[in-house]
Amino acid sequence: MSAPRPTPPPYEIVQCTGDAGPIWQQCFDVRVEVFHNEQGFPLDTERDNYDSDPCSLHLLLRLKPSLEPVGTIRLAARSKLSRLAVRAPYRKYGLGRVLVQALHDAVRARGGGEIVAHSQTQALGFYQKLGYVQEGGVFDEDGGPHVLVRVKLPPSGEALDAAPQRGQAGPVDAAAA
């Protein structure tokens, strides 16, 4: 039996759309730190057309009261979970799960629907614990092995996933865009 996760430090989740402004820049900085600096993915693949798409939703998890950015996730094309990244020192707190649950809440508030993601193979178990199901085999994306995963989310007010959200999350702040 594994030890329980430590209690996360106080945090808030803020959001923005498009690729302008300080919130988006902080999301991008976290992504570069995790995907390029730490995992070695090419820097030129980190920014894509979904970043500037006004339909893309970027969530940023930052510590309170310092507002230090520690994690991010993006909902692209209204149905694709992408760019989930949590800085290494903060992964022990389960903040990746918090970010996915916040994204799920946003999708439910918009009426629910199916979410797809290209999971790195080493993260497949993480997504499966959140209700995602693998479809197909392993494929290369940006030089790393990935698999397609999918989950169906009901609208707000209907039955939700069994996975609870941990921590002291603040509301998603639309005014921060």
pLDDT value at position 165?
34
Task: Report CA 48 to chain centroid distance, whole Å.
Answer: 16
Give the list of residues 6+ apart from residue 58 with CB closer than 8 angstroms, or none.
15, 16, 17, 23, 24, 27, 51, 72, 73, 74
Tell me which residue of 30, 94, 34, 67 sits closest to 176, measured CA to CA.
67
Order the strands of the 133-141 sheet from edge to edge: 11-17, 57-63, 69-76, 80-86, 113-120, 144-153, 133-141
- Rounded CA separation 152/161 (Å): 10
Q: Across the 177 residues of the chain, what is the mean pLDDT of every consecutive 10-residue run?
A: 86 90 94 94 89 92 97 94 96 97 94 95 96 96 94 79 34 34
pTM confidence score: 0.85
What radius of gyration do the chain's Cα atoms show? 15
Give the separation between CA 74 and CA 67, rounded to whole angstroms. Answer: 19
* pLDDT value for 29: 96
- Residue 1: its pLDDT value, please? 63
Q: List b or e across 24-54, with b for residues whose CB sees 16 or more CB atoms inside 10 angstroms.
A: bebbbebbbebbeeeeebeeeebeeebbebe
pLDDT value at residue 142:
87
The confidence score (pLDDT) of residue 171 equals 40
Could you give the C-alpha distances from 41 to 37, 166, 172, in angstroms and in order? 8, 30, 29
Find how far residue 131's CA is from the centre of its chain. Answer: 15
